[in-house]
Amino acid sequence: MKTMGLEELWLVAPAAFPHAEATALAAGADDLLARARVAGTLAEAVADCGLVLATSARSRTAYYWPALTPREAAPRLLAAGASGSAAVVFGTERTGLTNGDLEYCNGVVHIPANPAFDSLNLAQAVQLLAYELKCATGGPVIGPQRSVPLAPSSELERLKAHLDAVLREVDFTDRHGGPHLARRVARIFGRAELDQHEVNILRGILTAVQARRRRAGSEP
Amino acid sequence: MKTMGLEELWLVAPAAFPHAEATALAAGADDLLARARVAGTLAEAVADCGLVLATSARSRTAYYWPALTPREAAPRLLAAGASGSAAVVFGTERTGLTNGDLEYCNGVVHIPANPAFDSLNLAQAVQLLAYELKCATGGPVIGPQRSVPLAPSSELERLKAHLDAVLREVDFTDRHGGPHLARRVARIFGRAELDQHEVNILRGILTAVQARRRRAGSEP
């Protein structure tokens, strides 16, 4: 990270931090490690981020996320970071990211690799993303041009909770097989990279639906 | 290397090979390590390579080599590799490549990095070059289009030795401060990425110079 000019490291529920071995391995970058922020959950770590991209060795198109290459992802992250915060999320060395982790992400970065041997180390995956961010720095801004900054992840979580509440009120989940479809709708919001105005509009629609139902419920 | 589809590893004068720790760390790529070729010298390792690029954390423009980015280097390496062999040369973790090593190289790859902290690990540097080669695979062929393959490194070494001999014969080194200028001329050949016909032409010129001098020497 430090060789590529990145400075802000977040650790989600680390087994141990600080850790003498990690500090020793960080060598001249131990200042960056010492400043790392620790979060209890991924939701907390990315709460203020407008764009959150997960990394995966496998293509996750089956999970309805657009898979970007690191080269495609870098200018989008820089553009989002210029008007707010953006994050790249890495899983653990052994198990990668869970599907639950991916719920907090707007998209997935898929590192091109040998299909017969695609098990990239965590350190190597971080290096490649950091390198692409370094290469894209100062380059043309690519991706949707936004007049309004992307909504932070925490706002998106509130929108999803609101949606869940409305779906429960209209008995949607019961008739359509549990929370699976609700998650798919939530993923559509993630993929769409909503700005704050758009979140407000969607929240307004949900509130209107609730108000309509409550009025209907109170009518004789 | 294996995650990015590269297969041919050469080790120059390794301290120990095979080594149990290296084999253990290679995990699923131990087959690639087991097939690694060991050479006593860099000259031997790159003898059949038409294009040899060195890697450096520092810009070596002061050494008269053109500094390419990994992204610029990758398609050139693939183009050279398509009609012969090409190599990327990495130095040791601690000391990098010597100026002597660079004599065998046609150019230098400079990995963009944080100027305040550019000490990239060897493993990370290899990863970035391997990644760029993977990304460039199947892409457009960039760089000089050659009808004749690049001359292998061993032919270039013979040309340099021939040049040295001629320069000694004409007392060039004595008058101009030792072998320094001869090395600069040799670097020009390296930088020019000569093909076999061009090497033959230059060797022919050197032979003609020698023959002329010998005839002149035998004249009364």
CB contact under 8 A, B114 and A3: yes
CB contact under 8 A, A114 and B71: no
pLDDT for residue A32:
96
Three-class SS state of A67:
strand
pLDDT for residue A1:
95
Q: What token pair was written down for A79?
A: 């553009």
d(Cα A65, Cα A88) in Å, to the nearest integer?
15
d(Cα B190, Cα B53) in Å, to the nearest integer?
10
Interface test with B, best of A114, A119, A122 (most B CBs within 10 A): A114
Residue of B nearest to A28 (CA): B117
HSE-CB of A95 using CA atoms within 13 angstroms: 5
Q: Return the higher-pLDDT residue of B182 and A199.
A: A199
Q: What is the interface size between A and B, counted as CB pairs within 8 Å?
A: 63
CB contact under 8 A, A134 and B119: no
Residue of B nearest to A25 (CA): B121
Q: Which residue has the tokens 């001249």?
A: A28
Q: Return the higher-pLDDT residue of A50 and B216.
A: A50
CA-CA-CA-CA torsion for B13, B18, B20, B26, nearest 10 degrees?
90
Residue pLDDT tens, chain A, 220 long? 999 999 999 999 999 999 999 999 998 999 999 999 999 999 999 999 999 999 976 655 545 666 889 999 999 999 899 888 999 999 998 888 888 898 899 888 999 888 888 878 899 999 999 999 999 997 765 555 677 888 999 999 999 899 888 888 877 765 556 556 677 777 788 888 888 888 998 888 888 888 877 877 765 5
Query: How many Å separate Cα A174 from the centre of its chain?
Result: 28
Identify which of B151, B164, B152, B153 has the alpha carbon closest to the alpha carbon of residue B201: B151
Q: Which residue has the tokens 């008739």?
A: A175
CB contact under 8 A, B128 and A128: yes
Out of B27, B112, B124, name the one closest to residue A135 (CB): B112
pLDDT for residue A140:
65
CB contact under 8 A, B128 and A123: no
d(Cα B108, Cα B101) in Å, to the nearest integer?
11
For chain B, the first-to-last Cα distance in angstroms comes to 64
Assess contact for A91 and A55: CB atoms under 8 A: yes
Q: Would you tell me how many other CB atoms lie within 10 Å of the CB of residue A168?
A: 13
Q: Return the higher-pLDDT residue of B177 and B61.
A: B177
pLDDT tens digits, one per residue of B93-124: 888 888 888 889 988 899 988 888 887 889 99
Three-class SS state of A118:
coil
CB contact under 8 A, B2 and A114: yes
Interface test with A, best of B30, B111, B121, B124 (most A CBs within 10 A): B124
pLDDT-based confidence at B9, cuts 50/70/90?
very high
What is the Cα Rg of chain A in Å? 20
Interface of B with A (CB under 8 A): 2-5, 27-29, 69, 71, 111-114, 117-120, 123-124, 127-128, 131, 134-135
CA distance A193 to chain B (A): 27
Out of B5, B127, B135, name the one closest to residue A124 (CB): B127
pLDDT for residue B7:
94
CB contact under 8 A, A123 and B124: yes
* Burial (0-12, 13-18, 19+ Cβ within 10 Å), B9: middle
pLDDT for residue A57:
67
Query: How many Å separate Cα A113 from the centre of its chain?
Result: 22
Kindly give, in sequence order, each residue whose CB lies less than 8 Å from that of residue B59, ignoring residues fewer than 6 positions away.
Answer: B67, B110
pLDDT, mean of residues B179-202: 81
Q: Return the higher-pLDDT residue of B144 and A163.
A: A163
Handedness of CA B141, B146, B148, B150 (dihedral sign): negative
CB contact under 8 A, B113 and A71: no
pLDDT for residue A144:
56
Out of B71, B117, B134, name the one closest to residue A29 (CB): B117
Out of B3, B69, B113, name the one closest to residue A120 (CB): B3
pLDDT tens digits, one per residue of A19-77: 999 999 998 999 999 999 999 999 999 999 999 999 976 655 545 666 889 999 999 99
pLDDT for residue B124:
93
Out of A112, A117, A128, name the one closest to residue B2 (CB): A117
pLDDT tens digits, one per residue of B128-137: 999 999 999 9
d(Cα B166, Cα B182) in Å, to the nearest integer?
10
Identify which of B170, B172, B162 has the alpha carbon closest to the alpha carbon of residue B217: B170
CB contact under 8 A, B114 and A134: yes
What structural domains and CATH numbers belong to chain B? 10-136 (3.40.1280.10), 153-218 (1.10.8.590)
- From chain A, pick out residues whose CB is under 8 angstroms from the CB of B114: 2-5, 134
CA distance A111 to chain B (A): 9
HSE-CB of A64 using CA atoms within 13 angstroms: 15
Q: Which residue has the tokens 């033959």?
A: B200
CA-CA-CA-CA torsion for A107, A108, A109, A112, nearest 10 degrees?
-140
CA distance A165 to chain B (A): 45
